Amino acid sequence: MSVQSNTPQSYRAADWWRGAVIYQIYPRSFFDSNGDGIGDIPGVTQKLAYIAELGVDAIWLSPFFTSPMKDFGYDVADYCDVDPMFGSLADFKTMLAEAQRLGLKVIIDQVYSHTSDQHPWFIESRSSRDNDRSDWYVWADAKLDGTPPNNWLSIFGGSAWQWDSRRRQYYLHNFLTSQPDLNFHNPAVQDAILDVMRFWLELGVDGFRLDVVNMYFHDAQLRDNPVVSQPSERHVGSGDDNPWSRQFHKHQITQPENIAFLQRLRSLLDQYPSRTTIGEIGSYDSLKVMSDYTSGGDKLHMAYTFDLLSADCSADYIRHTIASVEAQLGDGWPNFALSNHDVIRSVTRWGGHAPRSDFAKASLALLFSLHGSSCLYQGEELGLPEGKVAFEDLQDPYGIEFWPEFKGRDGCRTPMVWTADGGFTSHGTSWLPIDPDHLPLNADTQAQDPTSVLQWVKQFLSWRRTQPALIHGDFQWLSGYDGAALVFSRRVADQVLWVGVNLTDKPLTVPIAGRIECLEAAGFSGTVQDNSLVIPAYNAVFAQAV
């Protein structure tokens, strides 16, 4: 099986995001500068040198905007200000300037599909049926029997419709009832959202990660969603614990009108050189949507794929997933991640009982070597496993709703460990407890250990910068091979680089046609013997064609 990409051989400086490594910061859990137990923007500023030393290209900040925090910032009450718990707009400007001084691009999360019910837009919209913003949100009358307008479901459980006694109508919410969906069919809503984006562009941010970018529009006719008849047809990562997976959300999300809005959005971005967008796409046909949203150079720059955030890490699954992305994306561009603020950390989800440090290095070597850009979630550079959080300590409304079959998202959001005693906050108690098993993995200790995951990440990303094939080379799986090792080539100009990654507990040998020699990639013991890649368990090898 082989797949050839359509990667151009050279890039303008404005295309810095192609092949970039982006460090995701969940500010609430990164570093607390004022001792209130919650991470903040000044805390990010204090740790920017640490991030720059990793060798990443950019940071992505999860939401820090004014919010009642029912969904921890993904319920925005003011798009253009910083919530006081995170600091001030002046603090953000200071952080932005320091990041850019250190050579780090700054990408911020934007949640456009919905707002908080505390947003002034919604407060006005719900006040009557004839105010200036009466149709800025999705309102609908009840059926004759009083039930919701259709069968649409909320991702957080139950109906996607909430009755409002002021208007005596239902409003749409794809998430919590306190997160009403905006009505993008209204051009005034689109204009307002683009004004928000313009505000941050003028402030100097380098890009946007767009939350649930395929959920901006809904079917204006409010038709029922069809039912999923086979479990195999359900969304990646969905299961019987959440009834959301029982429907094809054909009419609720991913509507054709979204394309035209993304073109408007891109036209705005193109007025600001070197800016970028990453669209988060969750859909049963996500690969097609990724292609639709990134092709042609007139919509999103990158599509953030969930496909490697699944529980399956078999070689067959990974090969099929990457091959499918490459085959369907065309001239679009993917953005891969193994962990984020919504899923079980990869060392636990994929690694299981594997040696933590070895598995972390091998899996990250795979991530950093794929064709596309990649996101490194805070703590991955330490090899942190999923944090253990007792039910009584849960904060995540999603986890509380679906406990105990689904433990929620708090385990991947526990605070960073900076020192042997945690070092996240100087006073009081952190908003989520630190897992005691994380303490020995702290950044200070790992910085002193040349064999640690942290030191490996620094060394590998430094070496990666010297390998143009890994940043923007063509991608091809080893033809005719379907074994347990993941073996592919990256090619640019006259450089052909072979990559072999072994995520299993047994050593593997893979013959390669032609003459190859091993490269001294940081920290791996894989070798080349008789034109074969010899890869120990939970290890990798990089070789140059000669």
Catalytic residue annotation: 211, 280
SS3 sequence, 339-357? CCCCCCCHHHHCCCCCCHH
Q: Which region, left, alpha or beta, applies to residue 177 given φ > 0 means left and ψ of -120 to 50 means alpha?
A: alpha
Give CA–CA dist 139/542, Å, rounded: 56
Residue 51 makes CB contacts below 8 A (sequence gap 6+) with 23, 25, 59, 102, 104
How far, in Å, CA of 268 to CA of 471, rounded?
A: 27
Distance of alpha carbon 36 from the chain centroid: 27
Q: What is the DSSP code (8-state) at residue 226?
A: P
Q: How far apart are CA 125 and CA 129, in angstroms?
A: 8
Instruction: Give the integer Cα–Cα distance in Å for 117 and 178.
Output: 5
Token couple for 149: 């307008």
Segment (H or E) for 293: helix 286-294
CA distances from 540 to 26, 372, 484, 534 (A): 29, 19, 13, 9
Single-letter amino acid, residue 415: P
Q: Which of 182, 177, 167, 174 is nearest to 137 (CA)?
A: 182
Decide: helix, strand or coil at residue 260.
helix
Q: How many CA atoms does the CB half-sphere of 424 hold within 13 Å?
A: 29
Q: Do the Cβ atoms of 174 and 113 come closer than 8 Å?
A: yes
With the C-alpha atoms ordered 49, 269, 335, 252, is the resulting torsion angle positive or negative?
positive
DSSP 472: H
Rounded CA gap, 41 and 352, in Å? 34
Hey, what long-range contacts does 71-74 have (CB within 8 A, 24 or more apart)? 71/175, 71/176, 71/178, 71/179, 71/397, 72/28, 72/395, 72/396, 73/28, 73/109, 74/111, 74/175, 74/179, 74/211
Alpha-carbon gap, residue 89 to 110, rounded angstroms: 16
In 252-353, which ranges are E strands? Answer: 276-280, 302-304, 334-337
Residue 320 · residue 347 · CB < 8 Å: no
d(CA 21, CA 462): 12
Helices (H), 177-243: 187-203
Taking residue 11's Cβ as centre, other Cβ atoms within 10 Å add up to 14
Identify the three-state secondary structure at position 335.
strand
Q: How far apart are CA 65 and CA 262, in angstroms?
A: 23
With tokens 């036209």, the residue in question is 267
